[in-house]
Structure 1
Amino acid sequence: MKKIWVFLLLCSVSMGAFADEGMWFLMHLKRLNEADMQKKGLKLTAEEIYSINNSSLKDAIVQFNGGCTAEIVSGQGLVFTNHHCGYGAIAELSTPADDHLTNGFWAKNLGEELKPKSLFVRFFVRMDDVSKRILGLVNDKMSEKEREKVINQEIAKIEKENSEGGKYVVSVKSFYQGNEYYYFVYQDYTDVRLVGTPPNSIGKFGGDTDNWEWPRHTGDFSIFRVYGDKDGNPAAYAKANVPLKPKHFLPISIKGIQEGDFSMILGYPGRTNRWMPAAGIDQNVKFAYPAWVEASKVGMDAMKKYMDKDQAVKINYASQYSGIANYWKNRQGMIDALTKHNTAATKGKQEATFDKWANKKENKAQYGDVVKTINNFYATTNEKARHDNYLIGMLRSSTFAALPANLGGALKQYAASNEAKRAELLPRLQTIATETYEKAYLPLEVDVLADELNLYAKKAGVIAPYIAELAKENGGNFQSYIEKAFASSIFGSKATLEAFLANPSAEAVDKDPLFRISSALMTKYRESTPETEKLNDDFQAAYRKYIAGVLASNPKGKYYPDANSTLRLTYGTIRALPADPRNDAKVNNYTTLKGTIAKYKPNDEEFDLPKRLMELYETKDYGRYADKAGYMPVNFLSDQDITGGNSGSPVLNAKGELIGLAFDGNIEAMAGDVIFDPVLQRTISVDIRYVLFIIDKFAGAQNIINELKIVE
């Protein structure tokens, strides 16, 4: 969809300065992108980026733990990704006595590397188009359920055919809302160990205040290593495992960057909605996102109160809190950007143009009612979207909003079982009990659930009936009721859950106060009626036809599908924003350590700095990592088209050398998940020279530096 939508043209930006839109499939680079990329400066061929038969850049790019991107940077399986991507694993491995989040961690040898309980990387092997095979089995006379059943059956066959007996993970994905299908073959490695991380005061410098903002001064990186068996195959964690020897790893360039340099990013963008209709944008801006923001803030405030008082609580909830905070600011930024740029109106004009084409005589039978059906769906579901986002905010913040309902069925099955069956079920239930309560802080959980229920009952409209009853009985304030519920519930502590396992009763589960609350919430969350199912089916069919119609109306267009956590390439240039007095850089496309020190606030949670870093700044002891102009670079800007999931993605120069790690976008272009802004779109990355400076000069981890192929 190579269309240019210009929302705001800053006076200091020339009319010719546009970012390159598109998250491109690697298998299509030769046909769609190679010539354009080489014209812009790329020194590689499409085959050197993506090859099935030979090693290529794609072999060094991995999906990290299902939600981020990472890259292989040594012949011994060393992995770079963002600090915030490794945050959960780092937190898991931390204790108040050995706090890697606060103090950082640097393994001096393989034996010191730390294995979190669950962490994996996914290598991309190959992909192929199976659209004709799948779509040849369906037709417009089928209902959506019939269509889905046929498609899913064929997907299962394709995945089995290409898994080579379980060696590979195969995933068939839908694109263009079900108008195309591709399969992807992956290989997963689950023995992934922590090698190094800077302290929070570097890796998360700026905190929520600077999140999504520029200028940034964040050392957002962490280091892991992939292990396999002696033959290089995936293997469960074992001391006998050895570092993986990858097919390809990225050389690292410390030559520096200049405005206008070609650069590209390979990664796993999570989700975009570039085809979203105008009414869907309006629904998000006016109904869904405000509820998400408010519910997130309520949960964050309840957590923070306890996290500030107790370091153990802070460590145990750090990852969950960080995830909620990230999307809290993201959604508010989306509201502001989509409103400011009047995005719904822009989309509405496009749909009006399409509707005229759709209602021409030759198109009317296929596409005539598409826009009308789409608009009816959103008008009918606006209030539901508001409700659902208040409820989703509660489920993201509160462990006990969902857990009792999800676990209750298993407990009732356990209670109804004979002695032999109970013995079979017991170990799994005991594990759940341990994992649930091991790091849970119940006073925090009480307040989070009570505060979220207060908000839900007050703001969410037509809520779960049982919750409405409780709200009426308690004057809209759930605090006292939830305190008593935890005190008397099977789920109130590990001890009470274990006591239930020793003397189980299905009736006790059904009467349990937390189970009743949780069941009411989850029933409402999963609520469906024949009317809503038909409304949704009609919408899905209309949305699919809308996209098919847009493609058909301009068959020579250069299109790319929405992001859906599949490997993509995006390219552009190193590109500044207009001059900013807050940035000491000569060109507003990078930041410096001088700027980092200028933000320093002693003992501040977001802007404190390690003494060692400030000493290095005072002595200008930057080693070989300083820019040729003398400053120590920290972050930089480029204009690639990225989104969530690209966190940790490698930023590569024209030769395919690593120059940075992407970690954020700028808030001015926050509407980018819905509509691309060629003027404001920026990617914020940590300069690889800062990464190496922290590893080498700050941490003294020369063993890590020695593994890398550094190009000077």
Structure 2
Amino acid sequence: MKKLVLFLTVALMALPLKVKADEGMWFLMFIERLNHRDMQKMGLQLTAEEIYSINNNSLKDAIVQFDGGCTAEIISKEGLILTNHHCGYDKIAELSTPQDDILTNGFWAKSKAEERAPKNISVRFFVRMDDVTKRILGVTNPNMTEAEREKAIKAEIAKIEQENNEGGKYTVSVRPFFQGNEYYYFVYQDFEDVRLVGTPPNAIGKFGGDTDNWEWPRHTGDFSLFRVYTDKDGNPAPYSPDNIPMSPKHHLPVATSGIKEGDFSMILGYPGRTNRWMPAQGIEQNVSFAYPAWVEGSRLGMDVMKKYMDQNDEVRLNYASKYASVANYWKNRQGMIDALKAHKTVEKKTKEEKDFNKWANKKENKATYGKVIEDINAYYAATNEKSRHDNYLMTILRTSDMGALPYSLGSAFSQYMEASPEQRAEMKPYLVNGINESYATLALPLEQEMLAKQLQLYATKSTGFDIAPYVKEIGSKSNNDFTAYINNAFANSIFASEEKAMAFLENPNADVLNNDELFKLSSDLIRQYNTVPENVKTLQNDYQKSYRLLVDGLRKANPDKKYYPDANSTLRLTYGKVIDLPRGNKVNDAAENWYTTLQGTIAKHKAGDEEFEVPQRLIDLYNNKDFGTYADENGVLHVNFLTDHDITGGNSGSPVLNGKGELIGLAFDGNIEAMAGDVIYDPKLQRTINVDVRYILFIIDKYAGATNLIEEMTLVK
């Protein structure tokens, strides 16, 4: 799975279903009641208390949310953490230079003194959770507008978070579930001294590139290693050379005995978003309006970035993470369009909603639920073209830093100019630092071309909903060719370079700022992004209420079904088995289609190809069959394998565990055939693609020679 950065999300919270063993993202506090017996039948050998305990060490103590968007796990008693290469990608790129390009060449710290600290990275440990539904809903009543309801809930949430943070020791988050019909609070502890320990070269960690992304068979060593540090007393602390490696409550033992098809397995992680309650017309809006715009804008952004990245190594490193993120979403969204159409999901959901409407319009239900589907459909009908518009506009902000930077920096300049001399003295160091950081990695020629081309796409394709007025005015004068305008704006803007921004800070002038073309353009884009027409506001209020009632009604109409909450970046467990995927027309290198081998990696080798060039050392190890103890009983080195776990973005880096709670693999991707998985679960096709832990150990040991890291781990045969 990929690190997916969303600019516009809707909290869509659950799915009514007849749950199969391989479906569901389950709360750990309910494992004993809902799942434990089923898991035991499949091969689990742990008690529910060994998975989740408040009072004793348990599996949950080894699982962390990595840098806000992925999952990672503790694999040694010295705070060593394992996650995906693509999860650490931006930090690895940040620590790289053209002279010391560890993104391309790899990096292995042979001692703790050699470990490298990126900026602004953290990991989050889950401490406990509890149900506060009655308390939260107790401050609401049916006569409230959605705005009134939200205000009352926010006030109560603030109280709960304050009551449970123990004087700031913990971060507390109250989250809605089942579209606001239930609420739980989560207590976390955050650690911000996290250092890079090891990463394979890009040719292993990102092998296959965009071509193989979301595809099976895969041959990718998608992993990296970091370490958590604490102060001398074991508490969270900012980076300091005096900090010590963490002594975790629990670390995962690593199984080296291998796996076979049909084995029980489970994943603990932080899935980001699933939308399985999404109404039929919401899916139709995405398939026909939102996602096509996302795909088109992303493709354009990738082409512009690639052009400049290929010309300059520094630009390549600075934009590597952004390119990877945009490319991932580009393929993901196109895959979702294709999969949702192939599954006829809109038609199936429409039928379900007709059945619900019959129940909703029974005499005893009509007053509460009778207009639910009508209000939901009215909202989508009114916002289809806005959805297309918003996605073209979001693409500008997602691919062009100069789409939003002049507005955000200019707003700070405005506050600075209005401040007293004393306040200015206090603000100035922060502004200087902000300018330095904002421009440190920008390639201005790239940004200039990106902004001009994305504006042209936005102005010419967002035809069903009014575009930003200043963009419209500029485009009307040039037949929507923004090249000359952007070139002139960059030539004269105070935001065109770090030097010009710094010069303005030394001699600020309100007229200069307010007449700056990049500031005017950026402000226009941001205002349009935040604008909601009055007619949509009214429909939105009815929609939010009806959506909540839809979920409530469906659960009441089907009270005997087992429900799990939809993903929302909270810790979940999913379980199933090691399983193959019908081959179709794709040829795998392995004897069976549930795993791939190093032989397949070598077979894909293309000298000089940035996606498929295999490092010579890996080729030599393969030719010599120098696999150490990591091959199977037939002397074959496994690379990736499949399970039927129910995961999504945010699960990247999640541990795949056997029935004893031992690490057997690392989740990193899904398959294109099941790209509709965030909306519907397909047990026949939905698969998780994982790195075999033996391949990880092989790369660390035999390829990199980082035996110091192997010695840290608890290996179990």
Counterpart of 1:587 in structure 2: which amino acid?
E
Counterpart of 1:473 in structure 2: which amino acid?
K
**Structure 2 counterpart of 1:659:** 664
Q: 1:550-561, aligned counterparts within 5 Å?
A: 550-561=554-565
**2:17/2:561 contact within 8 Å kept:** no
Paired residue for 1:142, among 120, 141, 144?
144
Counterpart CA distance in 2 for 1:277 and 1:416 is: 48
**Structure 2 counterpart of 1:444:** 446
Distance of aligned partners of 1:153 and 1:418 in 2 relative to their CA distance in 1, 3 Å threshold: closer
Counterpart of 1:76 in structure 2: which amino acid?
E
Distance of aligned partners of 1:388 and 1:532 in 2 relative to their CA distance in 1, 3 Å threshold: same
**2:200/2:223 contact within 8 Å kept:** yes
CA drift at 1:678: 1.2
**2:146/2:545 contact within 8 Å kept:** yes
- Give aligned pairs, total: 700
Counterpart of 1:521 in structure 2: which amino acid?
L
CA drift at 1:415: 2.2
CA drift at 1:380: 0.6
Paired residue for 2:607, among 596, 599, 602?
602
**Structure 2 counterpart of 1:537:** 541
**1:115/1:192 contact within 8 Å kept:** yes
**Structure 2 counterpart of 1:354:** 356
Distance of aligned partners of 1:529 and 1:571 in 2 relative to their CA distance in 1, 3 Å threshold: same
Counterpart CA distance in 2 for 1:437 and 1:409 is: 17
CA drift at 1:532: 1.9
**Structure 2 counterpart of 1:69:** 71
Counterpart CA distance in 2 for 1:549 and 1:567 is: 26
Deviations 1:249-302 (CA, angstroms, capped at 9, x unpaired): 000001111111000000000000000000000000000000000111111111
Task: Give secondary structure in 1 for the equivalent of 2:320.
Answer: helix
**Structure 1 counterpart of 2:259:** 257
Q: Mark the runs of 5 or more structure 1 residues left unpaired by the alignment.
A: 6-17
Counterpart CA distance in 1 for 2:684 and 2:400 is: 40
Paired residue for 2:304, among 279, 302, 305?
302
**1:579/1:587 contact within 8 Å kept:** no
Q: 1:475-494, aligned counterparts within 5 Å?
A: 475-494=479-498
Q: 1:362-511, aligned counterparts within 5 Å?
A: 362-461=364-463, 462-511=466-515
**Structure 1 counterpart of 2:237:** 235
Counterpart of 1:236 in structure 2: which amino acid?
P
Paired residue for 1:126, among 128, 136, 139?
128
Q: 1:173-322, aligned counterparts within 5 Å?
A: 173-322=175-324
**1:593/1:632 contact within 8 Å kept:** yes
RMSD, matched Cα: 1.0
Counterpart CA distance in 1 for 2:580 and 2:371 is: 45
**2:21/2:38 contact within 8 Å kept:** no
- Are 2:685 and 1:670 equivalent residues in the alignment? no
CA drift at 1:31: 0.4
Q: Percent identity?
A: 64
CA drift at 1:4: 5.7
**Structure 2 counterpart of 1:12:** none
Counterpart CA distance in 2 for 1:467 and 1:4 is: 50
Deviations 1:656-699 (CA, angstroms, capped at 9, x unpaired): 00000000000100001001111111000000000000000000
- Are 2:576 and 1:576 equivalent residues in the alignment? no
Deviations 1:412-438 (CA, angstroms, capped at 9, x unpaired): 122233433222111111111111111
Counterpart CA distance in 2 for 1:534 and 1:164 is: 40
**2:223/2:696 contact within 8 Å kept:** yes
Counterpart CA distance in 1 for 2:657 and 2:354 is: 40
**Structure 1 counterpart of 2:9:** none
Counterpart of 1:500 in structure 2: which amino acid?
F
Paired residue for 1:686, among 665, 687, 691?
691
Paired residue for 1:628, among 630, 633, 650?
633
**Structure 2 counterpart of 1:109:** 111
Paired residue for 1:25, among 24, 27, 30?
27
**2:382/2:536 contact within 8 Å kept:** no
Question: Structure 1-normalised TM-score?
Answer: 0.97
**1:78/1:225 contact within 8 Å kept:** yes
**1:416/1:506 contact within 8 Å kept:** no
**1:59/1:124 contact within 8 Å kept:** yes
Counterpart CA distance in 2 for 1:300 and 1:579 is: 31
Counterpart of 1:293 in structure 2: which amino acid?
V
Counterpart CA distance in 1 for 2:92 and 2:667 is: 20
**1:19/1:639 contact within 8 Å kept:** no
Paired residue for 2:652, among 631, 647, 653?
647
Counterpart CA distance in 2 for 1:553 and 1:392 is: 38
**Structure 1 counterpart of 2:8:** none
Task: Give secondary structure in 2 for the equivalent of 1:331.
Answer: helix
Deviates further, 223-232 or 417-426: 417-426
CA drift at 1:2: 6.1
**1:2/1:22 contact within 8 Å kept:** no
Counterpart CA distance in 1 for 2:686 and 2:305 is: 33
**Structure 2 counterpart of 1:593:** 598
CA drift at 1:26: 0.2
Counterpart of 2:261 in structure 1: which amino acid?
E
Q: Mark the runs of 5 or more structure 2 residues left unpaired by the alignment.
A: 1-14
Counterpart CA distance in 2 for 1:378 and 1:418 is: 48
Counterpart CA distance in 2 for 1:533 and 1:476 is: 30
CA drift at 1:529: 3.4
CA drift at 1:474: 1.8
